[in-house]
């Protein structure tokens, strides 16, 4: 048994050849894993915190030094003319300040309630406000700010408000400086700086200044509703301007009142009475306070818009130098031409004028005016020179019809086209000429010089709407949907601000491309801005020209438009000895409007003239703000009067030179052909007197006409007895009573009205 047991034991203890099992590792618990992750985050957080502190200190150490003069200054911006002269300063003359002891309790409660409720508790920055703003923005998707009043003061005094300057570095420096300021100044002193410094709209700085300008009261004399409006303005002065945006102003005022009630500063009864007060209650008429501002108001408006659009800089709060392209002498002369009777005899004080002068080689806007007899004291009012609501008439023909025809179809100026009864494509609506006549076969040159509507509409159809839109697009002119009626009119039912349609600004820039040989430059009012630290912003205002058309196209249009002034509808713009080209344009009334006006003379709602030399392009519109008030009789020539007076003035100081014909064109007689295009007519083998006349007549109907055939056509037309236009005809009619037959060539151009307003043809007029 023992042996058996031993053998069993031996067998039991004997290695069997299998590997020994390794001891099992302890399983990691969730708690230990979580602890390690947490420690990792803490470690990373510490590193980030230390890195953040180091970065913050690096930024803060480079912050500007606190300067009491900058805390007190009005942050005015200086506007420089092209000759380096300061012609306007925004913010210096319009500021009245108060002391810390003069702050009304009501105003203090309003500002603190709406801007910084914890103003008297924080040390310059408010972590609670910052976290609250961050949570609110995350929840609502808004952009509520976390800046304290002290930080706002620092930003206004030492930094730009441009969006591009809202950097982490700037924020860090702003916070650091706010803390330092709180150590040096009392809360009342900081509040006083803020009240005296903030921009309040309409070129006004400081709440006391705004109080006197708006209500003719000091701050301590204001009612609760008036105080709330004043306190709420600095948040967005232009947007909450009670004069320009009364609805926005009321909304902001009522928010201020609500925060005051919520903060326990006013009762519910006071709140209800104040919010029911009309926003314009007590408002006084504003005065610009500058005798020279009126010369530049429209120009300054565009300067401010361009600076903000291209850089985000706030002209009113950032204290920058703005170098503009204005020619002071030209601007002042334009103002005097438009606003005095020294140069032009205006029919009344209500007629309006809009004009834009552009340097053809750069696109710089050197002078502009957007209204006439503007109310005294008005600031940054409507600029009619940039709006696209009115009709520029036949001034569109070179850019909409003839330019595209030469560019895409390579027509010669001698190509003939028939002025005959013709309907807009796909309709039974006729295209009418100013005299309700048709002149038969004529060259493209003659058709444009005499501003015939039918040939223009035909060219539009032949070139095609897509090509026309392409050509106009290169000149930054667009219509939401371009129609054949736009061949002779800039009317469009959709403007989308100024995106669609044509203004004097857009037209002057487009014509400048003809003047310089085919290059389009975006119009620009500003060439650079200089910040308080001496740095400059130039790149944002650089403009490089883009090729808009072939040089041959530009020259052909110019060659024809020279004839518009020397022998066509634009003769009133003639300036002896000056090489220039131009085009007239007028719009129409409907038959119903003409019947309502009931005048024996020609009446139109709009009259325009656009022209150019090699140096300048100038577009002028005239009319009344109420479109139903007509321009009567020979007052349609006032647009070309304005053009002539200003162009003569500015051209006296530049070289007067003619355009040179570019390669690729040939001149045969008076007409221009693309090289290789002209085919010399074959003379008859046995010419006879009768056949010569027949040949001359027939040659006027060939596709490429010679100068002699054009002369023959003109001669035959000159024997036709003029037909008296009916009263309802468009404005290209001569300015004479309808009982007197016209005896001279027309002096203005015409545009047919919108399609539905075109008068039907009762009977076919005579043709030549």
Residues that are catalytic:
115, 394
Half-sphere exposure of 364 (CA within 13 A, CB side): 17
Phi then psi dihedrals of residue 604, to 5 deg:
-140, 155
The terminus-to-terminus CA distance of the chain in angstroms comes to: 149
Give the number of other CB atoms < 10 A from CB of residue 70: 17
- Contact partners, residue 696, CB within 8 Å, separation at least 6: 708, 709, 712
Length of the chain: 768
Instruction: Compute the distance between CA of residue 583 and CA of residue 568 in angstroms, rounded to an integer.
Output: 9
DSSP per residue over 230-259, as a string? HHHGGGSTTTT-TTT-HHHHHHHHHHHHHH
DSSP string for 377-445: T--S---TTT---S--GGGGHIIIIIHHIIIII---TTBEEEE---B-TTSSPBP--TTS---EEEEHH
Task: Write down the residue that tokens 């020209």 correspond to.
Answer: 545
Quote the CA–CA distance of 419 and 430 in Å, as a whole number. Answer: 12
β-bridge partners, 352: 623
Burial of residue 47, with CB atoms counted within 10 A of its CB: 0-12 exposed, 13-18 middle, 19 or more buried: exposed
Beta bridge mates, 443: 416
DSSP string computed for 574-627: --TT---EEEEEE----HHHHHHH--SS-EESEEEEEEE-SSEEEEEEEE-SST
Burial of 647 (0-12, 13-18, 19+ CB in 10 A): buried
For residues 288 and 379, the answer to whether their CB atoms sit within 8 Å is yes
What CA–CA distance (Å, rounded) separates 640 from 615?
Answer: 18
Nearest of 152, 77, 141, 145 to residue 530 by alpha carbon? 77
Report d(CA 568, CA 560) in Å as an integer.
10
| 3-class SS string, 104-155 | CHHHHHHHHHHHCCCCCCCCCCCHHHHHHHHHHHHHHCCCCCCCCHHHHHHH
Compute, in degrees rounded to 10, the torsion defined by CA atoms 570, 576, 580, 585. -20
3-state secondary structure of 270: helix
Beta bridge partners of 80: 86, 323
Rounded CA separation 468/485 (Å): 12
Residue for token pair 């300036």:
575
Instruction: Tell whether the torsion through CA atoms of 637, 640, 646 and 651 is positive or negative.
Output: negative
Distance of CA 111 to the CA centre of its chain: 35
Q: Are 302 and 365 in contact (CB under 8 A)?
A: yes
Q: Which tokens in the block code for residue 153?
A: 């003061």
Q: How many CB atoms lie within 10 A of CB 756?
A: 8
Closest CA to 255 of 220, 279, 281: 279
Q: Is 326 in a helix, a strand, or coil? A: coil
Which residues sit opposite 528 in a β-bridge?
323
């Amino acid at each position: 048994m023992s042996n058996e047991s031993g053998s069993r034991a031996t067998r039991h203890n004997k290695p069997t050849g299998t590997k020994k099992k390794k001891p099992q590792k302890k399983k990691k618990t969730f708690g230990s894993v979580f602890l390690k992750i947490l420690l990792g985050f803490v470690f990373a957080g510490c590193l980030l915190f230390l890195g953040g502190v180091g970065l913050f200190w690096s930024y803060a150490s480079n912050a500007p030094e606190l300067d009491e003069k900058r805390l007190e200054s009005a942050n005015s911006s200086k506007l420089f003319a092209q000759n380096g002269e300061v012609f306007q300063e925004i913010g210096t003359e319009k500021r009245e300040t108060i002391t810390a002891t003069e702050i009304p309790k009501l105003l203090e409660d309003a500002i603190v309630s709406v801007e910084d409720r914890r103003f008297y508790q924080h040390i310059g920055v408010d972590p609670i406000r910052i976290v609250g703003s961050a949570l609110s923005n995350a929840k609502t998707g808004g952009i509520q700010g976390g800046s304290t009043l002290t930080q706002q003061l620092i930003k206004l005094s030492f930094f730009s408000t441009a969006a591009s300057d809202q950097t982490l570095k700037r924020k860090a420096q702003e916070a650091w400086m706010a803390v330092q300021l709180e150590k040096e100044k009392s809360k009342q002193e900081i509040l006083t700086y803020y009240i005296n410094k903030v921009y309040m709209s309409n070129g006004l700085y400081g709440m006391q200044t705004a109080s006197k300008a708006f209500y003719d009261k000091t701050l301590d004399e204001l009612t609760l509703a008036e105080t709330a409006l004043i306190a709420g303005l600095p948040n967005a002065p232009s947007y909450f301007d009670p004069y320009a945006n009364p609805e926005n102003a009321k909304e902001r005022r009522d928010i201020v009142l609500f925060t005051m009630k919520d903060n326990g500063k006013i009762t519910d009864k006071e709140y209800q009475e104040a919010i029911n007060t009309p926003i314009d209650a007590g408002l006084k008429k504003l005065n610009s306070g500058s005798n020279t501002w009126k010369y530049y108001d429209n120009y300054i408006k565009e300067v401010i818009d361009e600076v903000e659009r291209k850089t985000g800089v706030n002209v009113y709060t950032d204290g920058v130098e703005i170098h503009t392209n204005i020619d002071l002498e030209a601007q002042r002369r334009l103002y005097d031409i438009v606003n005095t009777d020294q140069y032009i005899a205006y029919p009344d004080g209500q007629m309006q004028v809009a004009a834009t002068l552009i340097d053809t080689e750069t696109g710089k806007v050197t002078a502009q005016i957007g209204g006439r007899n503007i109310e005294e004291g008005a600031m940054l009012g409507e600029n009619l020179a940039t709006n696209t609501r009115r009709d520029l008439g036949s001034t569109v023909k070179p850019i909409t019809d003839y330019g595209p025809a030469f560019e895409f179809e390579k027509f010669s100026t001698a190509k003939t086209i028939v002025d005959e009864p013709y309907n807009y494509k796909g309709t039974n609506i006729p295209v009418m000429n100013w005299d309700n006549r048709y002149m038969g076969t004529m060259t493209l040159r003659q058709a444009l010089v005499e501003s015939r509507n039918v040939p223009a509409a035909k060219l539009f159809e032949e070139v095609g709407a897509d090509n026309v839109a392409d050509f106009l697009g290169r000149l930054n002119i667009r219509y939401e949907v371009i129609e054949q009626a736009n061949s002779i009119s800039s009317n469009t039912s959709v403007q989308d601000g100024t995106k669609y349609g044509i203004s004097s600004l857009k037209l002057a820039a487009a014509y400048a491309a003809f003047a310089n040989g085919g290059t389009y430059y975006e119009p620009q009012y500003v060439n650079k801005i200089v910040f308080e630290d001496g740095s400059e912003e130039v790149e944002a205002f650089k403009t490089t020209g883009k090729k808009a058309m072939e040089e041959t196209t530009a020259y052909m249009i110019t060659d024809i438009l020279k004839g518009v002034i020397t022998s066509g509808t634009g003769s009133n713009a003639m300036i002896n000895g000056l090489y220039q080209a131009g085009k007239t344009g007028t719009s129409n009334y409907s038959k119903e409007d003409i019947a309502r006006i009931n005048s024996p003379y020609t009446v139109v709602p709009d009259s325009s003239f656009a022209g150019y030399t090699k140096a300048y392009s100038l577009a002028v519109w005239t009319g009344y703000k109420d479109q139903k008030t007509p321009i009567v009789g020979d007052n349609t020539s006032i647009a070309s009067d304005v053009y002539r007076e200003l162009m003569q003035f500015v051209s006296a100081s530049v070289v007067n030179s003619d355009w040179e014909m570019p390669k690729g064109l040939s001149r045969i007689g008076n007409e221009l052909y693309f090289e290789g295009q002209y085919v010399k007519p074959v003379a008859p083998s046995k010419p006879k007197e009768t056949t010569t006349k027949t040949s001359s007549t027939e040659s006027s109907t060939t596709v490429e006409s010679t100068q002699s055939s054009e002369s023959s056509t003109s001669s035959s037309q000159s024997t036709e007895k003029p037909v008296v236009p009916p009263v309802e005809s468009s404005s290209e009619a001569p300015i004479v009573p309808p009982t007197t037959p016209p005896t001279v060539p027309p002096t203005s151009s015409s545009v047919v009205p919108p399609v539905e307003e075109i008068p039907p043809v009762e009977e076919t007029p005579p043709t030549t």
